[in-house]
Structures are given as C-alpha cells and as structure tokens.
Amino acid sequence: MIKNDLFLKALEGETVERPPVWMMRQAGRYLPEFMELRKKYDFFTRCQTPELASEITVQPIRRYGMDAAILFSDILVIPQAMDIKVQMKPNFGPYLPNPIRSQADLDKVIVPDIQDTLGYVMDAITMTKEKLNDEVPLIGFAGSPWTLLCYCVEGQGSKSFDKARGFCFTQPEAAHELLQKITDTTIAYLKAKVKAGVNAVQVFDSWGGMLSPQDYQEFSWKYMQQIVDALKDEAPVIVFGKGCWFALKEMANSGASAVGVDWTCSPQNARYLTGGNVTLQGNFDPARLLSPPATIKKMVTQMIRDFGKDKYIVNLGHGILPHIPVENAKAFIDAVKEYKE
C-alpha cells in the first residue's frame, strides 16, 4: 500500500483534504544535485543507466516531498528503440541525423520488442520503486505519437515544425503509417511500464497546439485515444496537450483519468470545457516560478480555489524551467501542502 495516496485518490475523483502536487520535469535540470550528475554523465547515459535514472527520479522527492514521483527518462527513447538515431547535443537539444521524409525512410522504422530495446527503463522502475519504498506513487510517461513524429520528421526541435506538418499534408498515408508504428510501440512500452510497477501514466502532447483543431483530430488525437483505450483498464492515464484547449472536451470524454491544462486556459474555462466531471491537472505558468516566493504562494492558493480542491492535481502548465531557484520550487510545493479551505 502506498502511504501517501493523495495523487491516486485525486485520479479516482475522491474527496481529499488538499489536492496533490507534483511538477512536470521535476526530476532534473533545476536541481543542484542533478547538475552534479550531469557533469559526470551525458544525457542518454543518465536515461539508460537504471541506477542513475532512479536516483534522479527520487532527488526531488527527498528535497521537497511531492505527492508523486515521475520516472526520469525522455520521450525520444521510443524513436531510438524504433531504429531511429537520436542524439542529444549540448546547447542545442535533440538531433536526429536521419529524419523520416519518405516511404523509403519509413520502411526502415521498426516496431521493436520493448524488453529488448527498453528493458533498462523497466529496470529503472524496479530500482525507483525500491528507493521510494511505497512512500508516494510513481508515474511513467511517453510522448504523444504526433509529438514524436514532429522530432522524427523535423530532425530537431522547432518553433513551428513546418517540415513535420508538411510531411503530414503532402504524404498523409506515410504520416499515418509512421503515427501507427509509434502508437503501437508506445502502447507496448506503457503496458510494460505498468507491469514493471508504475502507478499511473501520462501522455505528453507537447506540440499538439501546432495543429488546427481539425488536423489535431486526424494526426494527433485519434492516436492518443488508442493509447488511452489500451491502457485505461490497467492504470490511470493522464493526457496533456500543450496549446490544445480546443480538444479538452474530447480528452475529458476519452476514458482518461485526468486531463492536463496549460497556463493559457483559465481554471474556469477548463472546468467548463471538460464538463466539470474529470480530474484536471495544471496549470501554473512555469515562468511564474521566477516570481518572489510569497507571490508564488498567493498565486498557487488562488489557483487551487479557482480549480476547486477536489478532482484536481496541482502542477505546472508545462515543464519546470532550468533556471528556477530551488526556494521558488519549494514555495510552489509548500503552498499546496499548507492549503486549507
């Protein structure tokens, strides 16, 4: 039994004394103890070494005592497993030297055996569960098929992902074949994570907001729905699309246990668009963690009042920024722990 099960209760829609809190990207780059490890090991070494991944996962829990841990990894381990080369370049970000631009490129992409290619993630889950000792739940995650396609086709990060969108609009059959391969791999991957011991999973659609509402349905949401359908009876699923307020209704009716909201959608609008029945997660602007701690605390308290304490998980509206002071992150967490009606 998990000692602090606030997060799991919120996912079930149960009444709680206060909402649970965790932060997207809480394991990592803003923490001094993480920076020490970063000096010694490159990015994918940290992802692929279970001892390191598990240590990084529990670092923020030790420091701040969030109500859930999220496994340290990266969404791009899936393309790597599918035989798509991925590098992480310092001061540049992800770089895929052989992007998928044609049917011939696509024919080389495999749907892998998860245990063979991503077994190290399952080992990291086992080690992390031991370190957490049932104190808090553990979240596993994956990128949405659309977000992964963006990197696989573009070959790197982008402000607009024009090449990725162009691929979908000029070669829709190839795009759908790639999206399905990513979806099938993701489902197998998340099922293996649940089997290995994660208590919930989250699907991140970081670039969903690049698409029009109509194109979102065709190139992103229908694949996310497949993932929800495959996983929802095995573990709670959280879906999160950045810039996807227009899809909140579909997300709320998808069978997912919770829907993530970014900071461009107010709590009142998010409740309205989702029908008021599903657990919501979010939506503090990550840049607002640069405000003074006293301001952060006031804003977090107001955010909880606006969402309501039940069917709500306090989080950021996207991942924490690298240059956030540790005391500001603490103010964010403490404000939730100190919350009283």
Check pLDDT > 90 for residue 163.
yes
Mean pLDDT of 206-226: 98
Residue 168's nearest CA partner among 100, 109, 258 is 100
pLDDT at 283: 97
Contacts of 136 (CB under 8 A, 6+ apart): 2, 3, 4, 7, 61, 66, 67, 68, 69
Mean pLDDT of the chain: 98
To the nearest 10°, report the CA torsion of 186, 188, 193, 197: 150
Catalytic site residue from 25, 41, 120, 306: 25
Mean pLDDT of 165-176: 98
Catalytic site includes residue 29: yes
Binding residue per annotation — 165?
no
Binding residue per annotation — 28?
yes
Instruction: Classify strands 87-89 and 93-95 as parallel, antiparallel or unpaired.
Output: antiparallel
Residue 237's nearest CA partner among 223, 248, 224 is 224
Contacts of 113 (CB under 8 A, 6+ apart): none
Share above pLDDT 90 across residues of the chain, in percent, rounded to a whole number: 99
Q: What is the pLDDT of residues 111-124, one digit of tens each?
A: 999 999 999 999 99
pLDDT at 341: 85
Instruction: Classify strands 87-89 and 69-70 as parallel, antiparallel or unpaired.
Output: unpaired
Catalytic site includes residue 151: yes
Q: Which domains does the chain have, with CATH numbers?
A: 6-337 (3.20.20.210)
Q: Does the pTM exceed 0.75?
A: yes
Q: How far apart are CA 232 and CA 241, in angstroms?
A: 18
| Rg (alpha carbons) of the chain, rounded to whole number | 19
pLDDT at 65: 98
Catalytic site residue from 30, 42, 62, 74: 74
Residue 147's nearest CA partner among 92, 69, 227, 72 is 227
Q: pLDDT band at 316, cuts 50/70/90?
A: very high
49: left (phi over 0), alpha (psi -120 to 50) or beta: beta
- Beta-ladder partners of 281: 260, 313
Residue 52's nearest CA partner among 119, 116, 131, 124 is 124
Binding residue per annotation — 29?
yes
Q: How far apart are CA 80 and CA 105, in angstroms?
A: 15
Check pLDDT > 90 for residue 217.
yes
Q: How far apart are CA 25 and CA 70, in angstroms?
A: 8
Q: Which of 9-13, 23-27, 90-94, 316-320 has the lowest mean pLDDT?
A: 90-94
Mean pLDDT of 271-291: 97
pLDDT at 39: 96
Binding residue per annotation — 268?
no
Mean pLDDT of 253-281: 98
Per DSSP, the three-state class of 195 is helix
Q: What is the pLDDT of residues 29-46, one digit of tens each?
A: 999 999 999 999 999 999
Catalytic site residue from 5, 30, 67, 151: 151
Mean pLDDT of 116-136: 98
Binding residue per annotation — 206?
yes
Binding residue per annotation — 25?
yes
Mean pLDDT of 23-28: 97
Binding residue per annotation — 69?
no
Q: How far apart are CA 183 and CA 158, in angstroms?
A: 22
Per DSSP, the three-state class of 18 is coil
pLDDT at 306: 98
Binding residue per annotation — 254?
no
Q: pLDDT band at 292, cuts 50/70/90?
A: very high
Q: What is the pLDDT of residues 232-250, one digit of tens each?
A: 999 999 999 999 999 999 9
